[in-house]
């Protein structure tokens, strides 16, 4: 069964590649703005479901324009990572600018936050009775859909203004949930973790592989 990772994250791609998993890439672009008063659980589950739908729409377009042929079921993997403060309500997303990053880091300084990653596996296939390859009625049907969410506690050291300034200038925080990368320079801020390390990187690898196995 073919596997498509619907993500532009190089970290997720590298993690799956380490596991020797054969997969294809499909980048999806969605609006990741949280709704007003949206709790972390609802937000992250909505993100992976929306990414899956966007991926299906892209695949349907490829079929209609005869750019690709899919003869067997496909598993589409979508994932989203956020940080969550101890209040259980405040979502730490990718920083929009320096000030936003500073506000998040000040809340995380000398404290514990959680990193949540939701993963959705969506199994799809084409109907068998489509008369023409470019039929407008043709489209992928969802056969199965499952989600998991992994949580990891992360402890930060006390952060100074100079530390935050230096880190922002490095360019690393811009595309990362909570504005830091544990696999990069941000590791210097992490005093300890409780849970899956790969979850903090952006994809709980063992749990994701188990989810794929369940779907095959």
Residue 129 has pLDDT above 60, yes or no: no
Contact 77, 3 (CB under 8 A): yes
As annotated, the active-site residues are: 80
Distances in Å between the alpha carbon of 139 and those of 10, 61, 79, 123?
Answer: 29, 9, 23, 13
Q: pLDDT by residue (tens digit) across 138-161?
A: 689 999 999 999 999 999 999 999
Q: pLDDT by residue (tens digit) across 76-123?
A: 999 999 999 999 988 998 999 999 999 999 999 999 999 999 999 999
Show the tokens assigned to 174.
């811009």
Residue 137 has pLDDT above 60, yes or no: no
pTM given for the model: 0.88
Q: pLDDT by residue (tens digit) across 35-63?
A: 988 999 999 999 999 999 999 999 988 87
Report the candidate in 6, 3, 11, 1 with the shortest Cα–Cα distance to residue 205.
11
pLDDT at 128: 60
Q: Which CATH architecture best describes the domain 2-215?
A: Alpha-Beta Complex (3.90)
Contact 186, 117 (CB under 8 A): no
Residue 203 has pLDDT above 80, yes or no: yes
- Strands (E) in 37-140, as ranges, are 74-84, 91-92, 112-125
Overall average pLDDT of the 2-23 stretch: 94
């Amino acid at each position: 069964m073919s596997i498509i990772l619907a993500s532009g994250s190089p970290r997720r791609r590298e993690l799956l590649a380490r596991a020797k998993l054969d997969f294809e890439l499909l980048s999806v672009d969605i609006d990741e703005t949280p709704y007003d008063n949206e709790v972390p659980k609802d937000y992250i589950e909505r993100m992976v479901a929306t990414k899956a739908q966007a991926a299906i729409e892209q695949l349907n377009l490829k079929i209609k324009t005869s750019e690709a042929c899919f003869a067997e079921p496909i598993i589409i993997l979508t994932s989203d990572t956020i940080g969550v403060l101890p209040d259980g309500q405040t979502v730490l997303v990718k920083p929009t600018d320096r000030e936003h990053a500073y506000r998040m880091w000040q809340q995380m300084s000398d404290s514990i936050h959680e990193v949540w990653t939701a993963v959705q596996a969506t199994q799809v296939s084409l109907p068998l009775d489509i008369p023409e390859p470019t039929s407008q009625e043709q489209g992928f049907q969802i056969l199965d859909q499952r989600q998991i969410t992994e949580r990891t506690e992360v402890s930060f050291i006390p952060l100074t203004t100079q530390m935050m300034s230096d880190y922002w200038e490095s360019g690393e925080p811009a595309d990362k949930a909570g504005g830091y990368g544990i696999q990069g320079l941000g590791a210097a801020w992490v005093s300890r973790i409780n849970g899956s390390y790969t979850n903090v990187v952006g994809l709980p690898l063992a749990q994701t592989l188990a989810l794929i196995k369940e779907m095959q």
